[in-house]
Amino acid sequence: MDTEAQQTERDRSSRPAPGTVEGRSRFALVSRITEWVPGGRISLALLLCLVFLLLISTFVVRPFQIPSGSMENGLRIGDRVLVNRLAYRFGAEPQRGDVVVFDGSGYFGDGDYIKRVVGVGGDHVVCCDKKGRIEVNGRSVDESGFLYPGDVPSSVPFDVEVPEGTLFVLGDHRSVSSDSRDHLGSPGGGMIPVEDVLGRADWIIWPAAHATRLHRAGAYARVPVRAGAEVSVPGRAGAEESGPGRAGSQVSVPVRAGADVRVPVPSGVDAGVRAVEGAHG
């Protein structure tokens, strides 16, 4: 009996403490990886950081440098802007006044561009009214809050219908900006497919003295939706709307002729705040 008891105690004492085997296995795996990677743990840490930044840049935010003055004074040459890649990923679409970055290949030329959205699908955009202002769906828009000082809304007259799924975009420095006005006779008629929008410019991050949050321009907030179009408005809990009607949901509402539908501007957006743009002319 004593012999059996001694063997039992010896067996118990030889067992590793809980978690010891797993811990040794994990450390052994890291050690093997660091031995394989030139530079050891430092190189491995840098590699992991690089992969993390690549994922962030691809799916979340991406920095862009402004090479031209097409969006002055809001965005200046050399500014770095941070583009929100998730802004239009979950059902949301660009709105009038947004500053967006898009792939202009086949429309504006090879490369990425940054411009302000002036018209969305279904809009009728005209230049200009008797006071020289751009009209969207019959409503004159006061763009003086962000236009380059001394510029007129457009020295080129135009009268365009924006097809569904596309955007009509302009630069804030209209006299030097190459934008939708200059490509009306090109493939796509100067319109940018929404699917080619890479994201919304939300921040100026450099230089530090010019760093700021970019907001949607409120000048377009009172533009009515054209008759026959459908507008998505935020659902309210308990509201009698066609659709789920849950708080935070989007509900499509048909617009009757003559209706003046006003989509609420997100909180924190001032009607006079200046937005910016410009990655290419």
Residue numbers annotated as active site: 70, 115
Count of residues making up the chain: 281
What are 124's strand-pairing partners? 161
The amino acid sitting at 280 is H
Q: Could you give the CA distance from residue 270 to residue 231 in angstroms, rounded to a whole number?
A: 22
Helices (H), the chain: 2-13, 20-36, 40-59
Comparing CA positions, the residue from 55, 48, 105, 100 lying closest to residue 75 is: 100
- Amino acid making up residue 198: L
Using an 8 Å Cβ cutoff, are 264 and 234 in contact? yes
> Contacts for 176-181 with beta carbons within 8 Å, 24 or more apart?
176/68, 176/69, 176/70, 176/281, 177/70, 177/71, 177/115, 177/281, 178/70, 178/108, 178/281, 179/70, 179/108, 179/115, 180/115, 180/118, 181/154, 181/156
Residue 56: CB atoms within 10 A of its CB come to 12
**Ramachandran category for residue 141: left, alpha or beta (phi over 0 → left; psi -120 to 50 → alpha):** beta
- Distance (Å, whole) CA 275 – CA 252: 28
